[in-house]
Amino acid sequence: MAQKFQWMSDLLDKDSRIMGVYLALICLRFLKRYDNFSESPSGKELISLWRNHYDWYFRSGAEAKEAIEAGEAFIDRLFKHENVVKSESRNFILDLIEHEFYNKFASAFRKYLRLDVIIPEFRPIIHKFLQNVASGLYKRPEESSICGSHIANLH
């Protein structure tokens, strides 16, 4: 693990916590109403605004709680350890974090992707759509991270 991001190493020990961090990272990176802050925001406050994203992925209350706590801690630590109140510097750091831990994030994301909620007859259509999303067909370069993530990754 890179020394630069040691402040988050304990948040990446379980899939639920990894997913909680990844959801916070994606929300911070792509939800445009969070472009610039005048001061460091509270992780608890931001995660409460994004609660629906967490609820969508987690069925277990215990896993959701772990994910939410990890997301809150990630945001608090990000603003404590990095100079990221402005979106440009924050997006750069978030892209570096995503790149550094991409395999962990992707693995956890796959675990919590809830394919069972998709109506069976729509699965081929959604499969094709997700392939197009993964290939970058629907995104603009300014709206994607260096790893290719964008807001459509949330759900």
Task: List the domain range (segments joined by +) for residue 70.
Answer: 11-115
CA distance 40 to 37: 7
For residue 149, count other CB atoms closer than 10 A to its CB: 24
Q: How many domains does the chain have?
A: 1
**Chain segment 11-39, per-residue pLDDT in tens:** 999 999 999 999 999 889 887 666 788 89
Q: Is residue 23 part of a domain?
A: yes
Q: Is residue 145 part of a domain?
A: no
**What average pLDDT does the chain have?**
83
Q: What is the mean pLDDT of residues 80-92?
A: 92
Q: What is the pLDDT of residue 40?
A: 93
Q: Is residue 94 part of a domain?
A: yes
Q: Is residue 135 part of a domain?
A: no
Q: Is residue 120 part of a domain?
A: no
**Chain segment 35-62, per-residue pLDDT in tens:** 788 899 999 999 999 898 898 888 889 9
Q: Is residue 44 part of a domain?
A: yes
Instruction: Give just the sign of the alpha carbon dihedral 111, 15, 85, 99.
Output: negative
Structure tokens at 128: 């094709």
For residue 21, count other CB atoms closer than 10 A to its CB: 26
CA distance 26 to 21: 9
Q: Is residue 18 part of a domain?
A: yes
Q: What is the pLDDT of residue 71?
A: 98
Higher pLDDT, 34 or 80: 80
Q: What is the pLDDT of residue 125?
A: 72
Q: What is the mean pLDDT of residues 68-83?
A: 97
Q: Is residue 127 part of a domain?
A: no
Of the listed ranges 12-21, 65-74, 110-119, 123-132, the one predicted with least confidence: 123-132
Nearest to 155 by CA among 23, 2, 29: 23
pLDDT above 90 covers a percentage of the chain that reads 47
DSSP 8-state symbol, 102: H
